[in-house]
């Protein structure tokens, strides 16, 4: 695993494909805030709560000029079903081989479970927030929203 990416580090370049077949390049995401959240598994209670909380705050993130992307090791088919079932408006990336997790140094829980980490990246590509809470999934959304809002006080969410 790479050294973990932390606050103040530049997000490394990556190219991934989301559950809709769209190619996402980190370089193309520059110019907007990025909320990149890693979660362990589709359709589990905590992961569903986290994704649905992101969905419920999605318009607020858009008002703050932020892009939201979810990442787990589940297949694109699982992501398609998960996104459809829970009306998730943001892309979800299948990191089946764990390459993106490795690139960012996302740690595993108890050395076996994929970690739950949210990165908040500013428009220049610098990580401004990183949150790891295994159970309190709503805290990821609150912290991400606060990090962005604090950096641009004129664009507070409604």
Q: Is 47 a catalytic residue?
A: yes
What are the beta bridge partners of residue 23?
17
> What is the model's pTM?
0.89
How far is CA 43 from each of CA 28, 49, 68, 120, 131, rounded to the nearest angstrom? Answer: 29, 9, 19, 24, 21
Which of these CATH numbers, 3.40.50.1000, 3.40.30.10, 3.40.50.1980, 3.40.50.150, describes 15-25+32-155?
3.40.30.10
Helices (H), 113-156: 137-151
**CA-to-CA distance for 39 and 83, rounded, in angstroms?**
14
Q: What is the pLDDT of residue 132?
A: 82
* pLDDT, average across residues 107-133: 82
H or E element, residue 62? helix 58-63
pLDDT tens digit sequence for 3-15: 678 899 999 999 9
Closest CA to 37 of 130, 127, 110, 126: 130
Does pLDDT of 136 surpass 70?
A: no
* Catalytic position from the list 47, 71, 121, 137: 47
């Amino acid at each position: 695993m790479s050294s973990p990416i932390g606050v103040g580090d530049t997000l490394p370049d990556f190219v991934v494909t989301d559950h809709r077949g769209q190619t996402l390049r980190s370089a193309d995401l520059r110019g907007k805030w990025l909320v990149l959240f890693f979660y362990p598994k589709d359709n589990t209670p905590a992961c569903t709560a986290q994704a649905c909380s992101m969905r419920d705050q999605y318009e607020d993130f858009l008002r703050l000029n932020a892009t939201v992307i979810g990442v787990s090791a589940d297949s694109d088919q699982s992501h398609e079903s998960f996104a459809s079932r829970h009306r998730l408006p943001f892309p979800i990336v299948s990191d089946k081989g764990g390459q993106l997790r490795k690139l960012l140094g996302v740690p595993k829980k108890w050395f076996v479970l994929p970690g739950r980490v949210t990165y908040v990246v500013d428009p220049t590509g610098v990580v401004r927030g990183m949150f790891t809470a295994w159970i309190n999934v709503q805290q990821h959304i609150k912290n991400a929203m606060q990090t962005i809002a604090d950096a641009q006080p004129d664009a507070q969410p409604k």
